[in-house]
């Protein structure tokens, strides 16, 4: 990137923050739980469980900044937190909301009752690159399928390559959307979250 382009981007970013204009490229992912869910093998010996209150406290204590805030939001919302443990140590977690697909600025879409929203996932740095996220997501998909859900969706920043690669390995289909937030206006989404919502002959 040239120096002048970098400077221009910096100025645009500064202007956005001053004026309250935000935009993001976000990938909307959808997993059809009726399709076969590929098995995942991690080099770590992992088990996945729903987090106990003690486990939630331990994770919260390890986090800071935005990660901590997002985690606390999950705790307050009553969502389900799944954790991956390696030899008893917490390696990562992922939250599941059984009702709506939300972002800080509001609800994106209202999903049918047999669909869920996976959000706020994190693998602690020492465990990254060992398929922990894939293993965790795989186990969550299997559990959700056993509970009778048919679709699981998620939102991922378009530049989050590891997250996209991991979910693509699990046959998640993505569509890139543009989100725009102007001051005093509701969040606008350009491009439709495809698949279930637009599928006419959904059975």
Ligand X SMILES: CC(C)(COP(=O)(O)OP(=O)(O)OC[C@H]1O[C@@H](n2cnc3c(N)ncnc32)[C@H](O)[C@@H]1OP(=O)(O)O)[C@@H](O)C(=O)NCCC(=O)NCCS
String marking each residue 91-130 x if it binds ligand X according to CB under 6 A: ------------------------------xxx----xxx
Beta-carbon contacts of residue 171 (< 8 Å; ≥ 6 apart): 31, 32, 35, 36, 37, 38
Among 15, 104, 161, 180, indicate the residue that binds ligand X (CB under 6 A). Answer: 161
Smaller CB separation from ligand X, 21 or 175 = 175
| Least Cβ distance, residue 68 to ligand X (angstroms) | 13
Name the region of 51 (left: φ>0; alpha: ψ -120 to 50; beta: rest): beta
- 120 or 150, CB closer to ligand X? 120
Looking only at residues 128 through 147 of this chain, which bind ligand X when binding is defined by CB under 6 A? 128-134
Determine the Cα angle at 94 with ends 89 and 99, to 5°: 150
Interface of this chain with ligand X, residues 167 to 186, rule: CB under 6 A: 169
Task: Name the helix (H) or strand (E) containing 140.
Answer: helix 132-146
> Cα separation of 162 and 139, whole Å?
18
Tokens standing for 90? 């917490």
Size of the site for ligand X (CB under 6 A): 18
Binding site for ligand X (CB under 6 A): 121-123, 128-134, 156, 160-163, 165-166, 169
């Amino acid at each position: 990137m040239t120096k002048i382009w970098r400077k221009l981007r910096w100025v645009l970013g500064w202007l956005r923050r001053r004026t309250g204009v935000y935009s993001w490229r976000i990938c909307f992912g959808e997993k059809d739980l009726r399709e076969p869910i590929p098995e995942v093998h991690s080099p770590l010996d992992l088990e996945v469980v729903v987090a106990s209150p003690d486990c939630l406290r331990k994770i919260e204590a390890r986090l800071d900044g935005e990660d901590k805030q997002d985690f606390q939001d999950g705790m307050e919302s009553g969502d389900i937190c799944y954790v991956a443990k390696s030899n008893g140590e917490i390696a990562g977690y992922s939250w599941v909301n059984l009702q709506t697909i939300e972002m800080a600025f509001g609800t994106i879409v209202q999903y049918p009752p047999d669909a869920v929203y996976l959000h706020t996932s994190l693998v602690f740095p020492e465990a990254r690159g060992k398929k922990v996220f894939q293993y965790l997501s795989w186990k969550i998909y299997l559990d959700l399928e056993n509970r009778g859900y048919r679709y699981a969706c998620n939102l991922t920043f378009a530049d989050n390559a590891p997250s996209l690669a991991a979910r693509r390995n699990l046959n998640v289909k993505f569509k890139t959307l543009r989100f725009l937030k102007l001051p005093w206006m509701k969040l606008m989404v350009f491009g439709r979250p495809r698949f279930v919502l637009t599928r006419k002959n959904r059975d």
